[in-house]
Amino acid sequence: MASLTLPKHSIPSPNQTLSPRHSLFSHNLPIISNSSQSQFYGLKVSYSSSLSIPSSSSSVKGSIFAKVNKGSAPPSFTLKDQDGKNVSLSNFKGKPTVVYFYPADESPGCTKQACAFRDSYEKFKKAGAQVVGISGDDPSSHKAFAKKYRLPYTLLSDEGNKVRKDWGVPSDLFGTLPGRQTYVLDKNGVVQLIYNNQFQPEKHIDETLKLLQSL
């Protein structure tokens, strides 16, 4: 059972007369806390529902705000691909590039999205575009994922989610689920489209192809 204890300055000294307000809040108040786990889109999600009283100095440190906008060049990076080789964003300059961030290898939604990119890969090639998938999985996980589903494009390992944070990819479900966001960069490396849709992963392919046809 969780309890709430107010800061020291709110607790009266022994010489003070207790007012009704003091006597109410100087006790530990029980808080009902419900916590459980569920399987969501192939990811284990742990959540806890409890009362919290923020202080006046509380902040939103855990929030991620958009850092990459349409018309801007995103932060550069160097990550390992499914073969353990270093790949930099600059390697893709000169051609339109689709960079899609997804939660995890093998989860149902991510598998649908990966296979949809695979099935439309010839259309992307025809548009002169490259496809790059990024998640926090390690290179060996990416290698197995790519082999199992015959993925013809690059998967990059963003262990620690540094690039995801640098790009400002928002999370879902109150921060418990990594976001599913796709960027289309033109041949100069400038962002022309940002598309976010966690629960309709296959729509990322439709939206990116529509944009690429107009470049």
β-strands 97-101, 43-49: how paired? unpaired
Query: Is residue 86 within a helix (H) or strand (E), and if so which, with residue range?
Result: strand 86-88
Q: Which amino acid is at 71?
A: G
Q: Tokens 């479900």 map to which residue?
A: 173
Catalytic residue among 110, 134, 163, 194: 110
**DSSP state for residue 116 in the 8-state scheme:** H
**DSSP state for residue 89 in the 8-state scheme:** G
Token code pair at residue 77:
């990076």
CB 151 within 8 A of CB 114: yes
Question: Of 18, 12, 209, which Cα lies nearest the Cα of 116?
Answer: 209
Token code pair at residue 162:
């540094």
115 catalytic? Reply is: no
Please state the φ and ψ torsions of residue 30, each to the nearest 5 degrees.
-70, 140
CA 55 – CA 60 distance, rounded (Å)? 12
The alpha carbon of residue 98 and the mean position of all alpha carbons in its chain are separated, in whole angstroms, by: 17
Token code pair at residue 74:
């995103």
CB 4 within 8 A of CB 51: yes
Catalytic residues: 110
